[in-house]
Structure 1
Amino acid sequence: MGPFPLFVRLNSLNVFFTSYYWLSCLFFGVGLVLLVLFIFFEVLRFNKMVNWLFAVLILEFIVLGIAPLVVRHYKYQFLFSFLIWTLVLALFIVCGSFLPLDLTLDVVVLFVLAVVSIIGAIYFVMLYIVANVAYSFLIARGFIVISILMFVMYHAQIINGGRFAEMRTKDYFLAAIILFLDFLLLYLFSFQMGPKWSDLCDRERSKNLVLFRDSTTSNPPKWWYTRTSSTEG
């Protein structure tokens, strides 16, 4: 997560990732493909010459994929969201580690609750998109966050060990990537609360749920708008 503050502070990076957002989509897609390969092929995780390379590439490609969202964030809101979700992740890792219930043994319960959460989330997202029901997106986000936090506790137990299912000690890179992705899943919801300056059709939407504003960025800078054929014309 170290490069994220640079995306917010440096105008040159802001311009680049705003104009070439498709490049970040490519990075993100490649990062997910590398993640799948890293999970399913043990030789990539246990070869000391390869596991470092794959772990770094996965993390950096995913971080670069998130860059177009980060550059549209207010810096104070970015820092506040980062702090809040870090504390939430740490809290549920501790809770999962000391929870007497073995979630690795009752993993079916987690998947059932996850499916129910997905159904509820999709329903309220559709209400938000189709019927414009107020605050329905926040309810959908609540369903998904609850599901993610349950799996955070599950991941904490398999990483710490001493349960029915546990991760091998040699899988430390995979453990780090799993916790990073858990944090990222939580943190991605922060971007919905950011400014919508790229929406040229409805400027009022740029004020949607923005908690922290910079006095120097009350109006969108010129580079903020995503460059499309309609805006360039």
Structure 2
Amino acid sequence: MRASYRNYQLYKKVRQKFAIYAYGLLAIWLLLALIQWIFICLVDPVRELFEEASIACVFTFILAFFIFYFFVYVEKVRFINGINFLICILIVELQIISLFALVARVQWRDLLTFFVICVLLLFIFLYVSSLLPQRADLTLDVAVLFISAFFSLLGAIYILMYRFLITENKPSRFLSHGALEFLAFELYISLMILTFVMYHAQTINGNRFAEMQLNDFLLASVILFHDFLIIYWLTFYWQYKYKPFTSDEHQSPASDDEASTTSTENPRWNVF
């Protein structure tokens, strides 16, 4: 009995160390992304460069997509010391660069505010997942999780098509009807991803039916970073079209033309 208890205590310490590594790396990826995105927003020559180089950002996304796919499914690569870390940095950096074309078209106040909101949501759900009792083990009921994700995706895709094909140009008092449909779409997708955040957190924290390998913290951090990205990508609709946290006098000259064209199509709202 004592030996079993000692083994369990040792396992808990190792698992906690693994979780610290995974969440610590996630924090590094997020900080790395924020620094570069803010830099793009604030330095006008760089902003203008990436406004014109959107195709390069698409290319980096496609490249990151396939490298990430390779990294997930080729397990041996994940355990080659040095190579695994370099691949993770490459994936993260390519995903950061892939957003430059969008970042160059928004204001830093909106970018930063939505970034903070998404990070808070991410870590709130990470924390909540650790508080769930054993009977709420998401790793045990993966089928239920994927069925829920399927229905979320089903509703989201229908709403997205409805938004673009039917209600795009209908006026509304505060937001266009198209924006309301996009909000519903965003909520569907975000809730689905946040559910997967909780699932991933439980596989990281351990003491569940399914757990990540104790030396796979690099993969854990990159998966959580992509969970964040999906939620954050969706906020660029609001950042670009409505700029809710940037008053008119704080807009950069580069966005004046865009603001003048979008303001006639969409009612402007912000917190100021």
- TM-score bucket of the superposed structures, by smaller chain: 0.7 to 0.9
- 1:164 equivalent to 2:217? Answer no
Structure 2 gap segments, 5+ residues each: 1-32, 169-176, 260-272
Specify the structure having the higher radius of gyration (Cα): 2
After superposition, give the CA deviation of every residue in 1:38-82 in whole Å (9 maximum; x if it has no partner). Answer: 111112110002111100100000100011111111111111101
What residue in structure 1 maps to residue 195 of structure 2? 150
Alignment of 1:83-232 (within 5 A): 83-100=116-133, 101-132=136-167, 134=177, 135-195=180-240, 208-214=241-247, 215-217=249-251, 220-221=254-255
149 and 222 in structure 1: CA distance in 2 versus 1, 3 angstrom threshold? closer
* Separation in structure 2 between the aligned mates of residue 27 and residue 40 of structure 1, nearest angstrom: 20
* Separation in structure 2 between the aligned mates of residue 136 and residue 221 of structure 1, nearest angstrom: 25
Amino acid in the other structure paired with 1:68? A
Alignment of 1:43-62 (within 5 A): 43-62=76-95
Note the C-alpha offset of 1:149: 0.9
SS at match of 2:95: helix
**RMSD, aligned α-carbons:** 1.8
SS at match of 1:170: coil
Amino acid in the other structure paired with 2:67? L
* Separation in structure 2 between the aligned mates of residue 218 and residue 69 of structure 1, nearest angstrom: 15
* Separation in structure 2 between the aligned mates of residue 109 and residue 3 of structure 1, nearest angstrom: 38
* Separation in structure 2 between the aligned mates of residue 123 and residue 222 of structure 1, nearest angstrom: 34
Q: Is the 8 A contact 2:72 2:219 kept in 1?
A: yes
Q: Is the 8 A contact 2:105 2:255 kept in 1?
A: no
What residue in structure 1 maps to residue 262 of structure 2? none
* Separation in structure 2 between the aligned mates of residue 172 and residue 92 of structure 1, nearest angstrom: 19
What residue in structure 1 maps to residue 266 of structure 2? none
221 and 188 in structure 1: CA distance in 2 versus 1, 3 angstrom threshold? closer
Amino acid in the other structure paired with 1:78? L
Alignment length (residue pairs): 213
* Separation in structure 1 between the aligned mates of residue 130 and residue 102 of structure 2, nearest angstrom: 32
* Separation in structure 2 between the aligned mates of residue 103 and residue 17 of structure 1, nearest angstrom: 41
Amino acid in the other structure paired with 2:203? I
TM-score, scaled relative to structure 2: 0.74
* Separation in structure 1 between the aligned mates of residue 94 and residue 238 of structure 2, nearest angstrom: 24
Q: Is the 8 A contact 1:148 1:182 kept in 2?
A: yes
Note the C-alpha offset of 1:220: 4.3
Percent identity over the alignment? 34
What residue in structure 2 maps to residue 204 of structure 1? none
What residue in structure 2 maps to residue 199 of structure 1? none
* Separation in structure 2 between the aligned mates of residue 123 and residue 173 of structure 1, nearest angstrom: 35
What residue in structure 2 maps to residue 230 of structure 1? none
* Separation in structure 1 between the aligned mates of residue 85 and residue 62 of structure 2, nearest angstrom: 20
- 1:5 equivalent to 2:50? Answer no
SS at match of 2:210: coil
After superposition, give the CA deviation of every residue in 1:60-113 in whole Å (9 maximum; x if it has no partner). Answer: 001000111111111111111011111110000011122111100001111001
Note the C-alpha offset of 1:219: 5.8
What residue in structure 1 maps to residue 60 of structure 2? 27
79 and 164 in structure 1: CA distance in 2 versus 1, 3 angstrom threshold? same
